[in-house]
Amino acid sequence: MTDRSEMYDRLKGLIEPFNKKGVEISETTTFAGDLEWDSLTVMDFVAEVEDSFDIVISMNMQAEIENVGQLVDAVGKLTA
């Protein structure tokens, strides 16, 4: 579909509306720690990503994704 940097930029754009703390987003930014997202925010964000990329992120996969870089890789695999 797209290269990794394009995927990163697109996901970073999807994160921004949920980034209530104004955290600088990088590959190592964690959703729970750095962004302080609760489970409801995570579910809303996952739905946004799924809609945007026309994919389904399983609960097992969600449990393994802790930071932005891992999300980029996961979405990359699902859209390949």
| pLDDT above 60: residue 1 | no
| pLDDT above 60: residue 35 | yes
Question: What three-state secondary structure class fits 67?
Answer: strand
Looking at the 3D structure of the chain, how many domains does it have? 1
Q: Which domain holds residue 22?
A: 4-79
pLDDT at 2: 61
Distance separating alpha carbons of residues 80 and 62, to the nearest angstrom: 18
Q: What CATH number is associated with residue 10?
A: 1.10.1200.10
Q: Tens digits of per-residue pLDDT, 8-33? A: 999 999 999 999 999 999 999 999 99
pLDDT at 39: 92
Q: Tens digits of per-residue pLDDT, 38-69? A: 999 999 999 999 999 999 999 999 999 999 99
| Helix boundaries (H) for the chain | 4-15, 39-53, 59-64, 68-79
The pair of structure tokens assigned to 21 is 């703390």
